[in-house]
Structure 1
Amino acid sequence: NAAVCHELRTPLTSIVTSLGLLEEITAAAPGSATKRLLANIRTGADILRARTNDLQDLVGFQSGTMRLRPRPTDLGEVLGGCAQRLEPEFLKAGLRLRVELAASVPRVVADPDRIDQIISNLLQNAMKYGAAGGVVDLRLAAGRNAAVIEVQDYGPGVSAWDRARIFQPHVRGSDLRPEIPGMGIGLALASELAKQHRGTLTLESEEGKGSTFRVELPIDAGGELPGGQAS
């Protein structure tokens, strides 16, 4: 809830601010132990900040205190930028991000920042569970009265039990390896943001064969979405 977000954000802000000052006053040589430790702290702080932001956004949209900023949006442009930004992380994880964006998809009325957030969360989820040395597919196509975005991995898949509850907040797979990080917020937020766009987020998965998350966004939303006017 909002109180939890506040309790997390206050000390996190202090940590990030202090870390920035420490980085400025510490002239650590590249490759030194001090430099590596500071980099590790920065990575951990950035991850915690991103998860806190996701939790705050989920609470805000569910309570109605946060609003979309919709406008005519080129989904290919949004997805292409998202893929380009995350590609180095995929390479670091030993995965290849394969992108297929149909040029025939019309613009949709959407909040491009929130669409980016949906796809970023889905891609980062696929990065966690994709088969080592394999690929993750990001696709955009025109469906019947909807733009269809798919993120497909070829990892272990999701059990029927977990599929029934995977978009609930704080729910994680029952058979996850303990070293896989997460708070069970990313998919819940992605689902909520899809609903805010009058769209859907669904999952098709088979154990041992991977998972496909599918976002469908209406091509004609009547020029208006909940929480804001199209500009």
Structure 2
Amino acid sequence: MEALLDGVLPASPETFHRVRREAARLQRLVDDLQELSRVEAGQVPIHPRPVGVQELVDAAIGRLRPQFDDNGIVLDAEVSPGVPRVLADPDRIGQVMTNLLGNALRYTPRGGRVTIRVRPEQDVVAIAVVDTGVGIAASDLAHLFDRFFRADRSRARASGGSGIGLTIARHLVEAHGGAIRAESPGPGRGATFTFTLPPAP
């Protein structure tokens, strides 16, 4: 903004667009930092109740379907028959799913596919977001849920993310008594993010 006021940058529509985009990115960062601070301090209320997993999946797909369609990426779901209801706060788990789907959208090229897969896994219910995107190096997998970590740092500014969305997701899942993990065969071979929730009694 100072460069614009000082005349270093031209007062063109493109410049104003770049300034607005950067301001929006910084606002998202501030919002995410505040959210992370509340989550880490245990100040985000969690109100779990028995809820059908299909309901959670349908809500997440409904929120993001337009963005996937606009980017030419297929978004679908595979829910195993007989999956029990889970004990979850729909709003907070919706936040987790939106984050995971948003990441998959960001790193999956046009013509790719993102699938939500739900199935029983031992004594929990596993919800996975599987993409055919750019993949993740093995050395990065253990750090994905750390604050500000980015597997692809060159795209940090372009993607507009804050680098703490996965950290927030981890805290929210753990607050439900679940766990979250990431897997990838390697760069260029897609990735799978899976989180678990306890079944409803």
Return the TM-score normalized by structure 1. Answer: 0.71
- In 2, the alpha carbon distance for the partners of 1:170 and 1:102 equals 34
Deviation at 1:50, TM superposition (A): 5.4
| CA distances 1:97-127 after superposition (whole Å, capped 9, x unpaired) | 1212234111111111011000000000000
- Aligned partner of 1:14 in structure 2 is none
Q: 2: CA distance between counterparts of 1:49 and 1:147?
A: 35
Q: 1:145 to 1:172 in 2, by over 3 A?
A: same
Shift in CA distance, 176/160, structure 1 to aligned 2, threshold 3 Å? farther
- Mapped to 1, the partners of 2:28 and 2:197 lie a distance apart of 25
Distance 1:48 1:70, change over 3 A: farther
Q: Give the SS at the match of 1:109.
A: strand
Of the three residues 69, 74, 80, the one matched with 2:52 is 74
Answering whether residue 161 of structure 2 is matched by residue 182 of structure 1, we say: yes
Cα deviation, residue 89, structure 1: 0.5
Q: Which residue is equivalent to 1:98?
A: 76
Give 1:56 deviation, angstroms: 2.4
User: Structure 1 vs Structure 2: percent identity of aligned residues?
Assistant: 37
SS in structure 2 opposite 1:65? coil
* 1:216 correspondence with 2:182: no
CA distance change for structure 1 residues 91 and 52 in 2, over 3 Å: closer, same or farther? farther
Q: 1:202 aligns with which of 176, 181, 184?
A: 181
Change (3 A) 1:175 1:53: closer
Q: Which moved more, 1:131-140 or 1:196-205?
A: 131-140
Q: Determine the C-alpha separation between the residues in 1 that align with 2:32 and 2:86.
A: 24
Alignment check: 8 A CA contact 2:87 2:197 kept: no
2:122 paired residue number: 144
Tell me: CA distance 1:139–1:49, structure 2 relative to 1, closer, same or farther (3 Å).
farther
